[in-house]
Amino acid sequence: MVSTDKTSSAKSTVFWLLLTAITLAVFIAILELGSWYIWTHVLRANDYVKLYGERMASIDRLLVNPETEAIGYEAGTTVVTYNTGEFVDRFPVWFSPELGVGIFDDGIDDTTHRALVIGDSFGRGVGATTLAKNWVETAERQANNTDILNLSFVGSGLAGYIDTYKRYARYFQHDTVILSFDADSDFIDSAYSKNRLVLFQSADDLKRRAIALNYDEGCNRLQNRWLKSWTLHAVSEVLRRRYEWANVALRDVFPPCPSSAEPPVAILREREAAAEEAKSHMQAETNLLNFVSDELREILANRDLGGESAEVRYNGFRILVRPYHRDRHLADLMTDSIAERLLAFADEVGKLGKCLVIVMHPTKAEVYAPKSDDIVTGEVTAADIRYPFDRLKGLLSSDITVIDPTTALHEAAQATQDRLYYAVDMHYTPAGYAVVGKIAGEELTSHYARSGCSPE
């Protein structure tokens, strides 16, 4: 009888120990999951959305190279740059020894010709879902003996494109510059004087802030440390903020998260302010106000063209109707300004012995409108939306090769059920990028045959 009681008691003890262990494990797992979600999805997501001013789910392993004043990415990783609900981009990052940072490209190839692509989201290939499906990589495969190196940044604007080229061109032997120009966002952005996102700053400032900007997912490379608890990381952050001794004792084990001390958003605000102060001497050559007429300058000072844009539905797509689609005079002023800046840039490139090629990406309405007089909204027709695009092409010199994939996209849209643009997002689908890449590759081959551009 005694033996039976002891056995029962032992079993009961084991049961309660197991139950306690399971309860603690579940409790700790919930804490860990909650802490992980807060650090990786709440705090970081907010910072990143503000960082690019775009709907970016994550920009992993952002880093700074003080030598080239470049903000790039850590090589050897796959970076999720967009997650819109319609698509998720997962781009592998290749390391550029010339720049010392990772860029979105398949690497330098040993070819007869090399072109550098500058642009923003359409150049980078947002919506392509993988690097191989971007039009740049497709064009590279299509063109004869040509390496196309992609130096595009998201949201950089025309001034940013030109600034990118001036800063980085010297690192790569090349004979051609390819400007990726979107007929919608690039057009409206180019009317303004400064880049929407300040990508660059002085080398001294970069060196001073490199540690603050160099962070990983999970705030601080937590996954590479011997103690990987998100909960302990959160507790340590609270202690560090309340007690100086804890800050000293824990800063090496649990480095500060981006949300503490100097978050990236605050740094960006400081950088933008510094760029404004230094604009007169740092960005004089890329300041678009130098190419804006007095009349357009007054319009831009008193109107918000972006805010006046209307979002409409057309053929199942979201279309943005801009103020200059309704006003031909405004469209003329803007195209004059943009053309003057592009011609000046072409002249700068020509003096360096390079050729300029512009890939002009049309809007959805231009591709999916059956006829040019089709009404998109109100009294605005497809021809009205196309007008600034065509006029800008007409103002550019014959020395500039303009690649316009509109016809190829329109024909593809009639021949296939696959969408070439996303319904809500403004970018191409992988099918759309494939069409543009094929045309760009063929046109680039023709460009080299007739232009005589040759490597240095």
Which residues sit opposite 312 in a β-bridge?
Answer: 319
Q: Which residues of the chain have pLDDT under 70?
A: 1-7, 36-72, 80-81, 154-156, 190-230, 233-234, 237-238, 240-244, 247-248, 251-290, 454-456
Asked if 330 and 301 sit in the same domain, the reply is: yes
Say which DSSP state 61 is in. Answer: T
Here the tokens at position 298 are 């007054």
- How confident is the model at residue 198, as a pLDDT? 33
Q: What are the strands, taking DSSP E only, across 228-298?
A: none
Site of tokens 């919930």: 30
pLDDT value for 345: 92
In a domain, 61, yes or no: no
pLDDT of residue 117: 95
**pTM, whole model, 2 decimals?**
0.69
Q: Are residues 26 and 159 in the same domain?
A: no
Q: How far apart are CA 401 and CA 349, in angstroms?
A: 13
pLDDT of 149 reads: 92
- The CATH number of residue 139's host domain is 3.40.50.1110
DSSP, res 172: S
Into how many domains does the chain fold? Answer: 2
Here the tokens at position 164 are 């990118």
Instruction: Say what the pLDDT of residue 272 is.
Output: 52
Report the pLDDT value the prediction gives residue 264, as an integer from 0 to 100. Answer: 44
Place of tokens 């009349």: 295
Tokens of 115: 């072109």
The pLDDT score that the predictor gives to residue 137 is 94
By three-state DSSP, how is residue 234 classified?
A: helix
Quickly list H helices, 135-214: 135-142, 157-168, 185-189, 203-213
- Show Cβ contacts of residue 284 under 8 Å, excluding neighbours closer than 6 positions: 290
Same structural domain for residues 48 and 143? no
| Residue 65, beta-bridge partner list | 70
Whole-angstrom CA distances from 322 to 59, 304, 325, 327 are 30, 11, 5, 9
- How far apart CA 58 and CA 216 sit, in angstroms, is 11
Give the tens place of pLDDT for each residue, 132-179.
999 999 999 999 889 999 988 766 678 778 878 887 888 888 999 999
Q: Angle, to 10 degrees, between the axis of helix 264-277 and the axis of helix 44-52?
A: 20
Query: Which pLDDT score, from 0 to 100, does residue 205 have?
Result: 41
pLDDT, residue 237, reads 63
Paired residues of 147 in beta bridges: 114
| Same domain for 238 and 294 | no
Shared domain check, 125 and 44: no
Whether 382 and 372 have beta carbons less than 8 Å apart is answered as yes
Q: Are residues 289 and 395 in the same domain?
A: yes
- What pLDDT, on the 0 to 100 scale, is given for residue 68? 63
54-99: per-residue pLDDT in tens? 323 333 344 555 566 666 677 777 776 677 778 888 888 888 888 7
Domain that holds residue 253: 2-52+216-257
In this prediction, residue 153 carries a pLDDT of: 74
